[in-house]
Structure 1
């Protein structure tokens, strides 16, 4: 139950069943239901909640305006086809409200004021103007805020509905009740142009959430994180951005036992502007996190963004085979296994095969073209094995031929590789050889020079061809 100036302004269903009504004083409400939980109205918290809902609604349309009495008006005319029609859009808006932890009454109408009045009257969807007029004419006059000071006079003359109010002489009604009443009535019925000041998304995103209690289990923070992700999704869509790095700060208790926030940072391989994938990553990270202190608040920040680039659709798309799908899989594996356990190959500018590649985290951005640019442009395209040994295997020599399970017959001309002049100098001649089982091997022979010229060169197995 919510109080303002010692009077009840909002009642829960159990309190209403006990007889508590809006307008009662604190003492009377407690007499009817002694176990009630009383909360004083907090306008700053209401403004924060309304702003959070407005940010989340920006994912459905960039035209969001604040209405009277803690309401939000959104223009969805240009979004209906994108979201699959009015019903599908309303379902998604309701799901977003539930994720934020709020309940809402939704209404749709050709005019914003008409939808506002329908929502105040219990909700509903009206698509035609004639149907809207019939629905509005049955609503009570008390739904119009400018008409409430004059309800006794209107009731005295027998004017109880909006239809009867529209039937009164306009000049006399304007002199008696003011121009604001007629302006809202005309706007609802489509007889005047409705002008609104649309909410603009800020240049950067940083949202905070205070928890109602001290949370000691990390996985219990997912609901609060989802609320913040909903707001960030709306902000990204409004600014036409996609996020690459996200930071979630878990704020701990203040005072003498204060400690710095615990930071959870998500680095995405592919930028995104949807919350489903980010929520999966956070679920994996929170499931592995052990809190060192209770959490009292959350703070979500978009650290790195870039302009949104929608993926191009191919003529015959392969389900699950797109670059974005693979990137989402890698990000999920990183969140579950850690960045040091999910690696990718990074080409290096080195002629030595064992030095031509390095394994780095998939979160690291690499550009293979940069490594190739350091090599000579006339480098011949010679065959390379599909499997490279971790360490070259020294081969036996039989009848002056290298032996690996069977004598190996050289099938190609030599390819000379000289590299590592500053450290670990290597001078090798590589050949493709074939065994008696017709398998192909990649061998190299060490080049002997100087005082060791009389020694017999050694052969090594370095790779296997598929």
Structure 2
């Protein structure tokens, strides 16, 4: 099934140049001293599209004016297109700030056309833009429905009925001939299509007929698909000096949405991201603040990255006001295929567990969330060290470091940070109560290259039926070897 989604961004100039604009404030975007976009408050004051600057000042003296820049609009449209690549790799830019998405192959993945439209609209809103969304079996049909906010059509006959009632001036090639069309009473696309084709082609050119054929599926459509760059780097210029780090989350979320689309287009997952907070330039310039997030498990979804950034920004202290953001993905790897297990793992998947650890590390600090790092040493206090959760340890290397005969020997669940010397009563070690030896001895002699240790380990039982791990130090020259408590069994 071939199905297209079209996103038309009618307020793109206003939202690009005034990202914090409000409908309650008079905001106007000018091009060559004429109004090209305006807020609702400016419209209520009498300002209209095409009005000159002086007329807008007379109608609304407190209007805030911004100059239009086609370069900034193109960058904003490119950012929106990059974010929408997460839904389909077949995305093209059309006329008048409209994006076309071929989503026929993505319907089952995202749960149908309604769920997919909600996700696409949610991504556009998260980027800070307001757009008109429509879907149709043809790309040009979806473009016409989005330009006129005429709803959605999933079948060709429904699309044809909706297109017939649309105004004729929606087609860009027709606008130069509106006077002639009004003179003959042709005001809708349906009436335009019923005109004799040879005469219409001689009057208006072939482009009008091609667009009509494209919209009704009578001609194959050709598109130039958007190609994601080989590496990711996105920058966002802030329109005000931000002195609170938590206020940067909205801009960072916009950059993360672009990263998600880029990862999906290349079928990659990110392992490390860098967010640079750019400060003032000129005499008071200072180097950008770098926020680095290292992931234990690679991901390509923005929700988890947003939570991690939120925790990091909540603890970040700004050395100077921030005027720009820059996001990079220096470390990526191929996206892992989904699990083929028939039944889900109890208690969540491995990815859920890693996301929890990463969230704790972002909230508490990576130095306060530790993981075990086994080492090839027979001495218990050196056989296991604790490192930050952000330190990557490959499971194969960890297993290879363990001595081959160590896994069969009993080890306590709780190893004391420092051995506790024990008292001797009636020639037996004492810890709250006399301890009885319940196992044969295990001799460990290691550390000759650093700290030599010669010990005999035993499992002992107290009167409370608790089991303890003891050792007897066998240092040469010591008259009476002492007993030490090393660990507790669960």
TM range (shorter): over 0.9
2:487 paired residue number? 463
Whether 1:244 aligns to 2:247 is no
Deviation at 1:276, TM superposition (A): 0.8
2:25 paired residue number? none
1:154 paired residue number? 181
- Deviation per CA, 1:223-259, whole angstroms, max 9, x where unpaired? 1111111111111111111111011111111111111
Comparing 219-228 with 370-379, greater Cα deviation is found at: 370-379
- Deviation per CA, 1:43-96, whole angstroms, max 9, x where unpaired? 001001100000011011111101011111111111111112222111111111
Q: How does 1:282-293 map to 2 (within 5 A)?
A: 282-293=309-320
Whether 1:94 aligns to 2:121 is yes
Deviation at 1:386, TM superposition (A): 1.2
Q: What SS does structure 2 have at the residue aligned with 1:59?
A: coil
Q: How does 1:21-36 map to 2 (within 5 A)?
A: 21-36=48-63
2:38 paired residue number? 11
1:221 paired residue number? 248
Whether 1:270 aligns to 2:297 is yes
Q: TM-score, normalised by structure 1?
A: 0.96
Deviation at 1:190, TM superposition (A): 0.5
Tell me the C-alpha RMSD between the 2 structures. 1.6
Whether 1:403 aligns to 2:430 is yes
Q: How many residues align?
A: 463
1:64 paired residue number? 91
Q: How does 1:331-342 map to 2 (within 5 A)?
A: 331-342=358-369
**Mapped contact 2:437–2:460 kept (Cα < 8 A):** yes
**Mapped contact 1:66–1:199 kept (Cα < 8 A):** yes
- Determine the C-alpha separation between the residues in 2 that align with 1:415 and 1:259: 61
Deviation at 1:378, TM superposition (A): 4.5
| Structure 1 residues 374 and 144: CA distance shift in structure 2, 3 A | closer
1:85 paired residue number? 112
- Determine the C-alpha separation between the residues in 1 that align with 2:272 and 2:45: 50
Q: What SS does structure 2 have at the residue aligned with 1:97?
A: helix
2:16 paired residue number? none
Q: How does 1:433-452 map to 2 (within 5 A)?
A: 433-447=460-474, 449=476, 451-452=477-478
- Determine the C-alpha separation between the residues in 2 that align with 1:320 and 1:293: 44
- Determine the C-alpha separation between the residues in 1 that align with 2:33 and 2:119: 38
- Determine the C-alpha separation between the residues in 1 that align with 2:116 and 2:94: 20
Q: What SS does structure 1 have at the residue aligned with 2:326?
A: strand
**Mapped contact 2:30–2:67 kept (Cα < 8 A):** yes
2:443 paired residue number? 416
| Structure 1 residues 314 and 371: CA distance shift in structure 2, 3 A | closer
- Determine the C-alpha separation between the residues in 1 that align with 2:58 and 2:387: 69
Comparing 390-399 with 254-263, greater Cα deviation is found at: 390-399
1:197 alignment partner, one of 210, 214, 224: 224
Deviation at 1:379, TM superposition (A): 4.8
2:65 alignment partner, one of 34, 38, 42: 38
Q: How does 1:166-205 map to 2 (within 5 A)?
A: 166-205=193-232
1:427 paired residue number? 454
2:418 alignment partner, one of 366, 372, 391: 391
2:282 alignment partner, one of 246, 255, 261: 255
- Determine the C-alpha separation between the residues in 1 that align with 2:52 and 2:416: 83
Q: TM-score, normalised by structure 2?
A: 0.91
Q: How does 1:341-352 map to 2 (within 5 A)?
A: 341-352=368-379
Comparing 284-293 with 317-326, greater Cα deviation is found at: 317-326
| Structure 1 residues 320 and 408: CA distance shift in structure 2, 3 A | closer
Q: What SS does structure 2 have at the residue aligned with 1:381?
A: coil
1:370 paired residue number? 397
| Structure 1 residues 14 and 448: CA distance shift in structure 2, 3 A | closer
- Determine the C-alpha separation between the residues in 2 that align with 1:340 and 1:85: 44
| Structure 1 residues 139 and 409: CA distance shift in structure 2, 3 A | same
- Determine the C-alpha separation between the residues in 2 that align with 1:86 and 1:181: 30
Alignment gaps of 5+ in structure 2: 1-27
| Structure 1 residues 53 and 320: CA distance shift in structure 2, 3 A | farther
- Deviation per CA, 1:363-403, whole angstroms, max 9, x where unpaired? 00113543543555345711111111222222223333323
Q: What SS does structure 2 have at the residue aligned with 1:80?
A: coil
1:360 alignment partner, one of 367, 370, 387: 387
Deviation at 1:406, TM superposition (A): 3.0
2:322 alignment partner, one of 295, 301, 319: 295
Deviation at 1:4, TM superposition (A): 1.8
| Structure 1 residues 319 and 407: CA distance shift in structure 2, 3 A | closer
